[in-house]
Chains A and B, each alone.
Chain A
Amino acid sequence: MAPNDTLTLIWAGIIALAIFGYVVMDGFDLGIGILFPWLADKVEGGDDRNTAINTIAPVWDGNETWLVLGGGGLFAAFPLAYAIVMPAVYTPLIAMLMGLIFRGVAFEYRARTTRLWIWDRAFAFGSVLAAFSQGVILGAVLQGVKVKGRAYAGGWFDWLSPFSVLTGVSVVAGYALLGACWLIYRTEGALQERAFALAKVAGVVTLVAVVAVSAATPFLYHDYFSRWFERPGIFLAAPVPIMVGVTALLFIRALRDRRELQPFLLALALFLLSFIGLGISMMPWIIPGQISIYDAATPANSQSFMLVGVAIMLPIIIGYTAYAYWVFRGKVGHDGYH
């Protein structure tokens, strides 16, 4: 029943795709929650919060499903890693779930109440908490967890470190950037103006954060360091920061030229590059230095059983998701789609 290495590699790819899919899809709608306090509400004579909600209302459920695919896929394909990572990041994980609860229900509730401010705050608070927790979880996994046998062996606050807080803040900033760029793309008028301004601020913070995380990561582990700064890893790794720089310049130009779709795509490109950077640091480890994807892989027949489902279902899912986005395409005003 030895796991098949090729299958394992494919499954690592699928999980990575699911996680990246989640970041791409849910990132911008979490970002709108993070930016909520800076959007005009009714009291200030605007209606920008409603407009922003209208841009994501029909699609957020589908977006969040990618998180379930990421978690469920990890459980199914790498149960050992799931069993070690989840207890290790117990506190931020619970915090993330709480954040998602507040955010998820605020969508529904704010349409049904006159006490709007409660659910607007719940929406913003939930989004920030969920995003920050996801960043902390990422940082905690990157910095490594204590393992003994087949179980987590650390304490319940091991995840907390300056590095994990840094990654937490970075993810909040990155999602805010995606949210602002999404609003540039989907809205017009005063709200779009506000989104341009917010994108500029979020862009700067995100870039600083990317640089800071990139600078800190190689020093967490000698293994990371050697991949980034020694041959042969450097040949693979070197283009990444260069491309980050190019993307950043293009992003600044796109904002200056008042492009509407480009900033969003470039922000996604920035996420993709960071994601590739993470992959370069971590592969083939799931728990750095201790558990590789091959150690954690489920028996081959479980992998192949699921692969059939993925091969058939994923194209269909992408198809109808694209359809749903297409149905609700176009600029959104506070009275709806034009």
Chain B
Amino acid sequence: MVESISALTLARMQFAFTVSFHFIFPAFTIGLASFLMVLEGLWLKTGRDVYHQLFQYWVKIFAITFGMGVVSGIVMAYQFGSNWAVFSDKAGPVIGPLMAYEVLTAFFLEAGFLGVMLFGLDKVGKTLHFAATCMVALGTAISTFWIISVNSWMQTPQGYGVNADGQFFATDWWAVVFNPSMPYRLAHVLLAAYLTTALVVGGAGAWHLLKDRRAGNPPREGTKIMFSMAMWMAAIVAPIQVFVGDEHGLNTLAHQPAKIAAMEGHYRSFPGGPGGGAPLILFGIPDDQQQVMRYKVEIPALGSVILKHDADGALAGLDTFKPQDRPSVEITFWSFRIMVGLGMAMVAMGLWSLVARARGTLHSSHWLHRMALVMGPSGFIAVLAGWTTTEVGRQPYTVYGLLRTVESVSPLAAPAVAASLLAFVIVYFTVFGAGTYFIIKLMGHEPHPGEEGPTRGQGADGITRTAGITPAVQVNPDAVLAE
């Protein structure tokens, strides 16, 4: 089996696997860091213990997720060299500096202030602690800026030249960093991260609302607040995301028409003119071998309306590209539909929450809670599906139109890549599976008055060791008495 798979295929599988795993963590921590910042800000502003409770509750989950993000990210940083050496040599002069800036302006900032954020509250005081939380949140945002800049340059390269060694070099750094697809991609990814976090927070809130209801307890204040905040976020951000996604699509059409053709499932071109516009294919079974879409369900002219804002607009299909320059429709078509479908469900949930809020049933509508619970992990799925769409749609290139994936790979033996792929699969599922278990265990408890922050070195006896910190727990005596 292994002998028949090339080192290239294995390297691609390995990259897809490790980057997908990695991407899950920042997609969550980017939004969660901002959520923590808002919670602590509200705590400082209002002095209400419930916000501190929620901060302490979510910061523990943040610590685990961040830890997993760091270690899986280090793998990514080194994998460029280990598996994609030719790419590293050729594209290094352009994207290397951007990644160096990510380390200098973001990674150190996050990591440096993380310790203060997790353990420093009674050492530095509330104001400085809040500053540390802000720095961590800022770090995650800056990190997103640089890595999206790198990825976008690989999608829509500009501002470069090629030297005698075949290396890309920058002729205009401004153009490299702010390449044509970068602003759209950055907005799309940041919003996706906020949505993902909102959906997880909302799902956890919904779970506890349902559980309290079943047990006949009134919902706790902290649970109500986090569910409400999550639903606001979904109601506001999901529609904005649809708009940004549409704009991003138009940008992709302008710069990567083959990707759009694959996403839409158009193997053939549409000439435009009266009745010649492209339909919107809702569903179908793509057949890359025969280059046809089977069993398709389509709405006439809607494809042209969406992409050209004109029912009779012409749209290029994959037949305008040489066979060796076409991305896979089979993967792109489906991953795109998963992303869009989930996005629509998010919009629907947001609207529903607004209706429930207006009726005063936000915390009692158990069908809404059930939907929020089911939608809890949907952000991760949508993010991975979207990522798959854009990355597979870029194929067969690593640097779009300039450097082919087949020319980017390291001179490695297939068994070496196969062995490391196997090791990654085993280790990732074990280690990150355990992490997910710990996170779910944490989310299984309801936020409560006197919620403690992260602890290290907890003993087997369950006694909490707090790295020297007695957390400045602000216990609300009334809430304790009420329990």
Contacts and interface: CB of A to CB of B under 8 A. Distances in A.
A261 interface: no
Dominant secondary structure at the A interface: helix
A191 B191 CA distance: 49
Contacts of B457: 49-51, 53-54, 57, 110-111, 334
Interface stretch (A151-159, A199-207, A222-230, A234-242): A151-159
B17 interface: no
B167 interface: yes
Contacts of A62: 108, 111-112, 114-115
Nearest to A61: B111
A162 interface: no
Contact of B82 (A90, A111, A113): A90
B2 interface: no
B431 A332 contact: no
A335 B165 CA distance: 59
B413 interface: yes
Contacts of B94: 302
A102 B100 CA distance: 25
Interface string A140-168: 00000000001111011000000000000
Contacts of B120: 58, 327-328
B467 A57 contact: yes
A203 B81 CA distance: 35
A220 interface: no
B85 A58 contact: no
Contacts of A85: 81
Interface stretch (A92-100, A211-219, A252-260, A279-287): A92-100
Interface size class of B (residues with CB under 8 A): 35 or more
Interface in B82-123: 82, 85-86, 88-94, 96-97, 99-105, 107-116, 118-120, 123
Given A87-B412, A151-B85, A299-B169, A58 B124 contact: no
A211 B175 CA distance: 52
B441 interface: yes
Contacts, number: 295
B90 to A, nearest CB: 8
B416 A105 contact: no
Interface string A293-336: 00000110110011001100110010011001001100011111
Contacts of B415: 156
Dominant secondary structure at the B interface: helix
A100 B416 contact: no
A278 interface: no
Interface string B440-456: 01100000000000111
A275 interface: no
Contacts of A101: 71-72, 75, 427, 431
A335 to B, nearest CB: 7
B178 interface: no
Nearest to B110: A61
Nearest to A118: B434
A90 B88 CA distance: 15
Interface residues of A, number: 82
Contacts of B424: 94
A333 B412 CA distance: 49
B215 interface: no
Given A87-B81, A87-B412, A317-B112, A75 B96 contact: yes
B107 A65 contact: yes
Residue among A79, A298, A310, A314 with most chain B CB within 10 A: A79
Interface string B394-433: 0000000000000000111101100010011001000110
Contact of B96 (A53, A76, A155): A76
Given A62-B115, A85-B81, A90-B412, A313 B74 contact: no
Nearest to B161: A1
Contacts of B434: 105, 109
A82 B92 contact: yes
B82 A93 contact: yes
A327 B93 CA distance: 38
B358 interface: no
Given A53-B457, A324-B115, A87 B468 contact: no
Nearest to A69: B103
B128 to A, nearest CB: 9
B438 A109 contact: yes
Contacts of B481: none
A222 B253 CA distance: 58
Contacts of A332: 468
Contacts of A337: 123, 467-469
Contacts of A35: none
A246 to B, nearest CB: 34
Interface in A112-130: 112-114, 116
A298 B431 contact: no
B104 A50 contact: no
Contacts of B1: none
Contact of B92 (A76, A100, A107, A336): A76
B356 interface: no
A69 B104 contact: yes
Given A84-B85, A302-B169, A327-B116, A73 B100 contact: yes
A57 B118 CA distance: 10
A68 interface: yes
B461 A42 contact: yes
Interface in A56-73: 57-59, 61-62, 64-65, 67-69, 71-73
Nearest to A122: B431
B170 A305 contact: yes
A83 interface: yes
Contact of A61 (B70, B99, B460): B70
A153 B432 CA distance: 35
B68 interface: yes
Given A151-B85, A317-B108, A336-B467, 20 more contacts: A58-B120, A58-B467, A61-B115, A68-B77, A69-B108, A75-B92, A75-B100, A76-B92, A79-B93, A82-B85, A90-B82, A93-B82, A109-B64, A111-B457, A111-B458, A156-B413, A156-B416, A310-B100, A337-B123, A337-B467
17 contacts: A59-B115, A61-B110, A68-B77, A83-B88, A86-B78, A87-B85, A94-B82, A104-B70, A114-B460, A151-B410, A299-B93, A305-B97, A305-B173, A306-B97, A328-B115, A328-B119, A337-B468
The 7 closest A-B pairs by CB, nearest first: A336-B468, A79-B92, A86-B81, A76-B96, A58-B115, A337-B468, A50-B457
